[in-house]
Structure 1
């Protein structure tokens, strides 16, 4: 049976009511971007579009005038915001949610007690209600690297003990200390990494952000690291750029700057982010 021959499955009365309620949420627009994304997720997952539209993409275009990609951005923003609430962050708008998207993916994979440790670090160490994406991602990746079957310093005695042997309260303290210390050291290494390359770049007499990229690659990157400049279009069709350093073997992001509207700003964001 082809798509054109596919039989329409009518919505039950309660499904019709649900669809009308969710579409009302979407009509509220940007002020409730999380609610909009969650409403679209439910419409997609429950296939509430099926009575009048063959695909979710058709539904988005014909009812809302959005491409399937635009709808996905809204759904991603909602999922990102929901994940970030587990570590005490609440993006104020869709743009902020987009900035945190990659960091939120790491947070989402953490065990609850690891998320608590990350939240504790962000609250006590950054002193900001809106820490940088680098701080969030670094803390989450440090937490993810903690071996639950390994040993840690006992929070009372300082001696190395099996992590699983600690009580719940002791585990929380040990995790918070490990995440705080590990994240500080990680960010410091990133800062030193960039600062050294800047000094070496200046000593060669080369100038400008493009020369910095070349010098950085020559002097600082290992054989498995890459300096990437990623250019994508946003929902309005405008180009957005992000500069980041990635380990091609582990796929871990070593450092990255905030998204910018042009190349130079993206590279300078990478420098400023790790200076921090």
Structure 2
């Protein structure tokens, strides 16, 4: 009964959105692709988003001709290391689903084990249901989802998983659940819970960025912040990335997040260096990062 209500509500939302905001020129797809263009890599995500847009668009066309339309589950698994764009992708999907009418709000709720798992019997189910309620009409993103299964038989994490599964099945107000985390840990988590993989028909891999892609991300960040850099500064960051990826910390390299932290640190170093010069600064001095800024 609840599942039927959920499907009906999705269909009504799509029909209402079509009447209110017709999309004959595929504006929503164009907007999503513009946002995707700012993301380096993630080709699998880009293909998936085009598929989803086309599916919803053609379903609308079929409904106009009184053809049957079947809804699909959009619950997803995101696998990849930190800084590979998983959270950004989830937010983008929420925006697109809202504009297409697939989700009523498209807002983004992020949760982790502590937000879902309680300390005594009954508390976990209540906490999990409250999080799901907040996510109604939007995206519920649970990072490092495998942490829910790490506590052993007496742990309440299993109860959180069961409550999420129940919500996926009978939630009257639709939402999209995305479980995310490291690739190996997510694969083990799914293997330990045989009933889960079939409930998440969409599984996307977010591979590590290449060194060239990371430098492109750095350049995009500088443009966004209205900075430029010297060739020496660029070489300095390239060396730092290489050392970080090939050293002891390679297994926990945080990809785009590492680059962002390096850029932000360099901006702070630039500010201190420039302020110490105690003179009137021209525009170039105020926006140019040099090698010593990447200490």
Q: Output the TM-score relative to the length of structure 1.
A: 0.24
RCO (CA 8 Å, sep 6+): is it higher in 1 or 2? 2
